[in-house]
């Protein structure tokens, strides 16, 4: 199964809007802010990752979602190795300015485990269970 192409055209923002958004965001002491990725048309929460200032700017400028990888200490352009990209539909900041909501059009799967989203475990009958199936073989999706 190969990743599906995004259905919706990506949203990009002009420099003045990007500057205004960046000044609104409250980055933590490491220069990061949590970003929740949500499928724009279904409301499904796909994943949570971190963004730094440059990732925010790149995402808003290009329409392709970019995060900051804390483990690699480098920009993480979702889909670079797997092809499972996230195209930006809407970029939002919460009331405190300390959490982002990135509405995306997800191509393929969001989770590196091969599941559609990263929230695939829950308590059922008092036990932790896997509640979502693997959609794509993890050996075929790359590292992101």
Return the percent helix, strand and coil in the chain, to nearest 5: 15, 35, 50
Looking at 3.40.50.1000, 3.10.20.810, 3.40.640.10, 3.30.200.20, the CATH number of the domain 15-108 comes to 3.10.20.810
pTM, entire model: 0.89
pLDDT by residue (tens digit) across 47-64? Answer: 999 999 999 999 999 999
Q: Which residue has the tokens 């191509």?
A: 107
Per cent of the chain over pLDDT 70 is 92
Average of pLDDT values for 113-133? Answer: 95
Please determine, for residue 144, whether its predicted confidence score (pLDDT) is greater than 70: no
Domain boundaries, the chain: 15-108
Confidence at residue 2, expressed as pLDDT on a 0 to 100 scale: 46
Confidence at residue 101, expressed as pLDDT on a 0 to 100 scale: 98
CA distances to 27, 43, 73, 99, 131 from 96, in Å: 11, 22, 26, 8, 32
Mode of pairing for the β-strands spanning 121-124 and 127-130 = antiparallel
Average of pLDDT values for 103-111? Answer: 94
Please determine, for residue 12, whether its predicted confidence score (pLDDT) is greater than 60: yes
What is the Cα 51 distance to its own chain's centre? 9
Report residue 79's pLDDT band, with 50, 70 and 90 as the boundaries: confident
Confidence at residue 89, expressed as pLDDT on a 0 to 100 scale: 98
């Amino acid at each position: 199964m190969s990743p599906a192409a995004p259905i919706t055209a990506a949203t990009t923002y002009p420099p003045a809007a990007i500057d205004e958004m960046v000044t609104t965001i409250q980055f933590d002491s490491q220069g990061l802010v949590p970003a929740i990725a949500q499928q724009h048309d279904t409301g499904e929460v796909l994943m949570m990752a971190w963004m730094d200032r440059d990732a925010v700017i790149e995402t808003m400028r290009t329409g392709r979602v970019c995060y900051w990888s804390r483990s690699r200490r480098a920009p993480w352009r979702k889909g670079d190795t797997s092809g499972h990209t996230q195209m930006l539909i809407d970029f939002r900041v919460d009331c405190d300015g300390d959490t982002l909501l990135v509405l995306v059009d997800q191509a393929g799967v969001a989770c590196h485990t091969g599941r559609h989203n990263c929230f695939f475990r829950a308590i059922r009958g008092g036990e932790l269970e896997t509640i979502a199936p693997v959609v794509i073989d993890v050996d075929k999706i790359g590292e992101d």
